[in-house]
Chain A
Amino acid sequence: MDTDNKDNPNPTILNASDLPTRQRDAHAAKRPSLFDALTQDAYPNYATTDLSSPEASDDSDSESDPREEIDEQEIYDLISTISDPEHPTSLASLAVVNLPDIFITRPASSTSRLSTVTVLLTPTTAHCSLGTVIGLAVRVRLEQALPPRFRIDVQLKEGTHTTADAVNKQLADKERVAAAMENGTLVGVIRNMLATCE
């Protein structure tokens, strides 16, 4: 990683407020009123639960709420904070990772539990030599963070890179990925990229 010779020394950077987040997409109906805090004291009320009914289960803790499924935004949040190997900036603000380019395919049949996550990456320049490294980092991150019922598919987006096919082949080849992760230098680079992930 020769820092003096970056592939793209001055890339366009997205403003943080333009990046998709879950909060902004949350339904407005659930928005708490400004005045709620005025009348709800933080004071816990230990007396009431047992005076009314000792078996009160008022906090069955929304466990009965529907399950929050793993969705595209969650995948995005997992990989958007990965750092670019040549800029101190996240993949999201460089628009390498984009929400519309993440797809989750649910199990095809009711007997299968296997879902597939597909992530399409957009390198900052069409000849970016680091496409493979970024792809590998995204892959490693998802393998660590997703439950085993997900199959992970990371590719460079069609038409964004001069050698996309070759890179994609490499990223899809389990053995080559495993071999790459034996390389100490590469592992170091990827660890640095992932260090900014929460």
Chain B
Amino acid sequence: MSDIQQYLYEVDKHKAAAKDVAQNSARKLESKELKLINLITDLEPYINAKDDAGRRSNSIAYLADVLDAVSPRVLSGQERRLLVDFILNRLESDTEGTGSSARALLALERLGKWDSTLAQRVLQTFADHANPLKQFKLQSERYAILQLIDLLMAKYRTALQSLHDSDQNLLPSFIALFEGEKDPRNLMIVFSVLQVPLAEWDVHAYARDLFDAVFNYFPITFKPPPDDPYGITAQDLKDRLKGCIAASGECAPYAFPALLDKLDSTAMNTKRDVLHTIQACVVSYEPKTVNLYSVTLWDALKFEILAAQEEDLVNEALKALALIATAFSTGMDGPLTAYLRPIVKECNEHLEDAPTTQSRAAGRILHAVSSAAPVVADRIVKGILPTLFTLFKSSESIAKRRGLIEVLNEILKAYIDMHASGDALIVEELKSHSSDALEVMLRAAVSAPKAEVSFRLASLNGLVQLTAIPKLLSDEEVERTVDAVTDMVLNEHTTGHGDIRGEAIAALTEMAHTVPQTVRSKAIPAMMVDLPDSPSDDTSYRATLEALARLSTETEIFDTIVVRLKSRLNAARHHQASMSYQHALLLALLYAFTYGSPLQEDGAVRSSYFGDYAEPPLALIKEAAPESRDSAETEIVGRITNILLRSQTPHYQSTVYRTSLQWLIDEQRTKCASVQSLAPLSLHYFAALRPEVVEPTDVHNLLKTLGNLLLDGTNTDASTSVLLRHITLLINKFLPAKSMQASLQDAELDVTRLLTSSPTQQQIHISLAITKALILLGKTSALTSTYLHLLLDLLPTASAPTARAFATLLAPDALLSKANHCAISPLHKQRTFALLTQPLLASLKIAEPSKKQPYLLALAGILQHIPYTVLQPSLPELVPPLLQVLDLPTSQSTAQDVKPPILAILEAALLHDPDTLSEHASSLISRLLTCASPPPKPKPVSAASQPTVTPSTTTAPPPVNSAAVRAKALQCLTLLPTHLKREVVLPFRRQIIRKLVPSLDDSKRSVRTEAVKCRGAWMGMEEEAAE
């Protein structure tokens, strides 16, 4: 059996086997076992089988498969030429197997490049004899032909173009070829093939036909099937189609009317596609072509903005308007004038009845168009500002004036946007109005009634913009502006409605960026005047100091501010000003270094700041006697030290450690009394140090001292907290994980020892602090687990506060952070959750109801710090204890603390896993209602005799949940109707609406707000049912 016979035998049943046959033939050709002439001769009877179209088609497929498999150089140029001739000749008389013919030609082209004539002939043959492609029913067959045409367009573009130039009849049949194509893969090729003549050929005579051929597909409404293997999206098709429509200005007479017609569609997606396509056309057509339609486009596009439907459509329409202006911005003066004339006219009309929705829209249009180019902005200013100022002066209405200033601000913003993107501004026209603008805005900002907030804010914003446009205002004008805003910051004491100091400070901060010199020379000295060396009372300086601190966010003036603050601090010390004033100045410095923009070097805060700003106050602390140290000051200085030191290099830190702060270590070692007074400083200082900088024996000694001090039990609340945090920090950062237990034993901080036989409160808290350090470290799992179990063993007899203190273990501490070089295991929460939850749940199961409380409190304390995604898988087991937490007696403050976070977990569960809660709906609802119930209202008559008047005598705390619990419970209850299944919650509806009535009269406003929302959510259910 010859190869072709075998192939024909297999091809309809086993495609792969047939391919093998063809490859085998190709191999034989290579090894010269088979001659090409014989192969063709063998093919002859099948390829000409008159009555069997399938057979003819399959024989061509065989030829294509063989050619596809054959290696280069096997066939001579002449042989290839003959084959092409053979295939093309056949095609003229028989269209069976056209797809395979295309494949064969593709293979032949791959084996050797064609000359122009041959390429032209191939295209001509297909255009003449395979037209239209839709006669071929199989997508794959049309796909092969389209690939061939695509290849011709890509590689033989000039040849095809000259064919078109010489034969005016080519294009119509070429266009007709693709008519009726619907397959997305094929269309991708059709669009890219059609783009070539559109973009490069002279298609004037057939522009309409070409345009119609592509616009037929507009708008694309293709939705890819869910498991589409080809990955073609609607957006891919839209982009190619857009490319075609925008390819030739010859299409403009058809494209713009057709697109604007579709813009009237009610479908938002169609509108969106139209706007994108118009943008593309405006960019790619010749400006002189766009010019013919610019006013038509404006007339249509403006409605999208003036009668806004969706925000993104407004933005796209604005972008299109701007692109038209951009097209005329280089040397197209006439067209630009013609385009802007109706825009200016219409916007001026809308200004007349400002402030309205349309005057605001006019502002947006002016901003968009002005942003197109400096020359456009200049024209807009020329057209709009005279009218704007005339209207401004002729009206007394503040609302109207505000509307006008807002429009002016939009135009100014265009200048700022262009300046920011590096355009060279043209400010001549604007300059002729800048004095007017400045006067109007200064007057508004300074003298308008304080209650006219929006008017003053608009003016303030305008002043910021005027100063930000380079070369617009004179130096004197800039100074006046800065002075006016500084005056607002310093001398306005409006409280409540009308207080715009915050905005004024923000404005001054922006000015500090654009005109730093003026702010440095005018604003800051004026503010410093408000900060005396020794103020008479404690409130007068506060506002100014806060303003200065906020200004420090601008790098340009940062150094000026901190230098001034420091010198004022020195003066205050010298004049023995009040401690609260000195603290406030230190806090301002701390704020500046924390939230401001200190200068950087090598990716860290500049190191010289440490010497300038941390060392002087540190020296003062060093000199002070332990008992005269002020703990607030020590802490602030500690924080300044931390922030300036922590990012410095190990070398720098090491030097500080061994020289300028060596005294701290020494004093803590030698004078036990000093440890407590220095603890706030020491805590923040050690937080800043890199682990390798510190001497192990220093840590060891310090830990021992801290432990003893805590066990001693004579500390105040605040200092206990500092000492405990200090212990956690030192253990986490500086003790080696490998010898952790030994190190802890050395420091007398082994939890096993601390917790033997009825430990004291102090011992328990120290143990928690130590365990917390190990949990975060995450490298001592055996020891951590031992300690955790020792702690769990305390629970059966633990008091409520002790059980509550378990929350310490995972409570986030800002000091224990990567920035402070702590070791933070990324999985520490997951691990602790896994270690603690199961034992706690097990104990809860067997505990008597009266003994459950400590377990519930401890569990709640752990869960409140666990991310929802971590506890989510255990939710089914957790819901019952979570609900029991809500039952805890309201008389205990610990129970009050623990309920809001638990309610937050339930809220998350309602949002993400409502099904888990469905089975508990009844008990959940009754508990939420109990949590939400408001305090009893004192009787209006006998209010004086009620116990509420005597809160100082420690009678029973209020018998209701705190406002935070009540509000949160109502928030959860609000979610039920929308997140649980209707049939689950509907039975409760009537009861809940009734029981929520008292909450509408809750004593706290925030709770009432939640009650209104909650009741609304439940009342909304019935309406749905009625439909």
Whether chain B is bound by chain A comes out as yes
Could you list which residues of chain A lie within 8 angstroms of chain B, going by C-beta atoms? Answer: 10-18, 20-21, 24-28, 33-35, 38-39, 41-52, 54-64, 67-68, 70, 74, 77-78, 107, 110-111, 113, 144-149, 187, 191, 194, 197-198
Stretch at the interface among B257-265, B428-436, B480-488, B811-819: B811-819
B897 and A59: CB pair below 8 A?
yes
Question: What chain B residues lie within 8 Å of A42 (beta carbons)?
Answer: 812, 814
> Does chain A have a CB within 8 A of B962?
yes
Question: What chain B residues lie within 8 Å of A49 (beta carbons)?
Answer: 717, 801, 893
Extra 15 A-B pairs, beta carbons < 8 Å, given A38-B590, A51-B713: A13-B355, A14-B399, A15-B453, A39-B635, A43-B815, A46-B804, A47-B765, A50-B801, A58-B893, A61-B896, A63-B963, A70-B1001, A74-B1005, A147-B1001, A198-B1009
Question: What chain A residues lie within 8 Å of B499 (beta carbons)?
Answer: 24, 28
Question: What chain B residues lie within 8 Å of A46 (beta carbons)?
Answer: 765, 801, 804-805, 807-808, 811
From B452, B940, B951, A60 is in contact (CB under 8 Å) with B951
| Docked complex Cα distance between A194 and B1015 (Å) | 13
> Does chain A have a CB within 8 A of B941?
yes
Question: What chain B residues lie within 8 Å of A68 (beta carbons)?
Answer: 1003-1005
A191 and B935: CB pair below 8 A?
no
| Docked complex Cα distance between A82 and B453 (Å) | 23
Query: Could you list 24 examples of A-B contacts with CB < 8 Å?
Result: A10-B358, A13-B356, A13-B357, A14-B399, A17-B454, A34-B591, A35-B591, A38-B587, A38-B594, A44-B808, A45-B717, A48-B717, A48-B720, A51-B720, A59-B962, A60-B893, A60-B951, A61-B896, A63-B957, A63-B960, A74-B1008, A144-B1012, A144-B1016, A198-B1009
Stretch at the interface among B218-226, B542-550, B832-840: B542-550
User: Given A27-B495, A39-B636, A55–B954 Cβ distance below 8 Å?
Assistant: yes
Bin chain B's interface residue count. Answer: 35 or more
Q: Is the interface of A mostly helix, strand, loop or mixed?
A: loop
| Docked complex Cα distance between A149 and B725 (Å) | 52
| Docked complex Cα distance between A18 and B402 (Å) | 11
Q: What distance in Å separates the Cβ of A157 from its nearest Cβ neighbour in chain B?
A: 19
B957 and A110: CB pair below 8 A?
no
Q: What distance in Å separates the Cβ of A130 from its nearest Cβ neighbour in chain B?
A: 18
Closest to A35 in B: B587
Binary CB contact string for chain B from 989 to 1027 against chain A (1 if under 8 A, 0 otherwise): 000000001101101110011001101100100010000
Q: Is the interface of B mostly helix, strand, loop or mixed?
A: helix
Binary CB contact string for chain B from 670 to 685 against chain A (1 if under 8 A, 0 otherwise): 0000000000000000
Question: What chain A residues lie within 8 Å of B395 (beta carbons)?
Answer: none
From A13, A20, A51, A77, B717 is in contact (CB under 8 Å) with A51
A147 and B808: CB pair below 8 A?
no
Closest to B1000 in A: A147
> Does chain A have a CB within 8 A of B724?
yes
Question: What chain B residues lie within 8 Å of A25 (beta carbons)?
Answer: 496-497
Please provide the chain B residues from 325 to 357 with a CB less than 8 Å away from any CB of chain A in the complex. 353, 355-357
| Docked complex Cα distance between A175 and B361 (Å) | 45
Question: What chain A residues lie within 8 Å of B452 (beta carbons)?
Answer: 18
> Does chain A have a CB within 8 A of B762?
yes
Closest to A67 in B: B1003
B720 and A148: CB pair below 8 A?
no
| Docked complex Cα distance between A17 and B893 (Å) | 40
User: Given A24-B497, A51-B762, A70-B1008, A60–B957 Cβ distance below 8 Å?
Assistant: yes
Please provide the chain B residues from 537 to 564 with a CB less than 8 Å away from any CB of chain A in the complex. 542, 546, 549-550
Closest to A147 in B: B1001
A43 and B720: CB pair below 8 A?
no
| Docked complex Cα distance between A40 and B422 (Å) | 44
Binary CB contact string for chain B from 488 to 518 against chain A (1 if under 8 A, 0 otherwise): 0000000111110000000000000000000
Question: What chain B residues lie within 8 Å of A45 (beta carbons)?
Answer: 717, 721
| Docked complex Cα distance between A17 and B497 (Å) | 9
| Docked complex Cα distance between A39 and B762 (Å) | 25
Q: What distance in Å separates the Cβ of B1012 from its nearest Cβ neighbour in chain A?
A: 4
User: Given A20-B497, A46-B808, A64–B356 Cβ distance below 8 Å?
Assistant: no
Q: What distance in Å separates the Cβ of B709 from its nearest Cβ neighbour in chain A?
A: 13
A59 and B549: CB pair below 8 A?
no
A38 and B639: CB pair below 8 A?
yes
Closest to B961 in A: A61
> Does chain A have a CB within 8 A of B457?
yes
Q: What distance in Å separates the Cβ of A15 from its nearest Cβ neighbour in chain B?
A: 4
Closest to B636 in A: A39
Question: What chain B residues lie within 8 Å of A61 (beta carbons)?
Answer: 896, 958, 962-964
Question: What chain B residues lie within 8 Å of A62 (beta carbons)?
Answer: 963
User: Given A11-B356, A38-B590, A147-B997, A43–B725 Cβ distance below 8 Å?
Assistant: yes
Question: What chain A residues lie within 8 Å of B935 (beta carbons)?
Answer: 63
Closest to A49 in B: B801
User: Given A47-B724, A61-B896, A147-B1001, A33–B356 Cβ distance below 8 Å?
Assistant: no
B761 and A50: CB pair below 8 A?
yes
Q: What distance in Å separates the Cβ of A62 from its nearest Cβ neighbour in chain B?
A: 7
Q: Which of A47, A110, A148 has the most CB of B within 10 A?
A: A47
User: Given A41-B814, A46-B808, A55-B954, A144–B1023 Cβ distance below 8 Å?
Assistant: no
Question: What chain A residues lie within 8 Å of B713 (beta carbons)?
Answer: 51
> Does chain A have a CB within 8 A of B275?
no
| Docked complex Cα distance between A110 and B591 (Å) | 53
B896 and A145: CB pair below 8 A?
no
Q: What distance in Å separates the Cβ of B1019 from its nearest Cβ neighbour in chain A?
A: 6
Closest to A58 in B: B893
> Does chain A have a CB within 8 A of B718?
yes
B399 and A149: CB pair below 8 A?
no
Which 10 residue pairs across A and B have the least CB separation, nearest first?
A48-B717, A15-B454, A147-B1001, A50-B801, A28-B495, A64-B951, A61-B962, A46-B805, A35-B587, A34-B546
Question: What chain A residues lie within 8 Å of B896 (beta carbons)?
Answer: 59, 61
From A26, A35, A48, A144, B1015 is in contact (CB under 8 Å) with A144
Q: Which of B402, B584, B801, B964 has the most CB of A within 10 A?
A: B801
Question: What chain B residues lie within 8 Å of A33 (beta carbons)?
Answer: 542, 546
B812 and A43: CB pair below 8 A?
yes
Please provide the chain B residues from 574 to 598 with a CB less than 8 Å away from any CB of chain A in the complex. 584, 587-588, 590-591, 594
Q: What distance in Å separates the Cβ of A88 from its nearest Cβ neighbour in chain B?
A: 9
| Docked complex Cα distance between A132 and B542 (Å) | 52
| Docked complex Cα distance between A70 and B740 (Å) | 60
B717 and A24: CB pair below 8 A?
no
Please provide the chain B residues from 701 to 731 with a CB less than 8 Å away from any CB of chain A in the complex. 713, 715, 717-718, 720-721, 724-725
Question: What chain B residues lie within 8 Å of A60 (beta carbons)?
Answer: 893, 951, 957-958
Closest to B397 in A: A12
Question: What chain B residues lie within 8 Å of A54 (beta carbons)?
Answer: 799, 801
> Does chain A have a CB within 8 A of B948?
yes
A17 and B940: CB pair below 8 A?
no
B549 and A34: CB pair below 8 A?
yes
Closest to A29 in B: B495
B1013 and A198: CB pair below 8 A?
yes
User: Given A12-B356, A28-B495, A63-B963, A50–B799 Cβ distance below 8 Å?
Assistant: yes
User: Given A34-B549, A41-B813, A78–B1012 Cβ distance below 8 Å?
Assistant: yes
| Docked complex Cα distance between A54 and B803 (Å) | 13
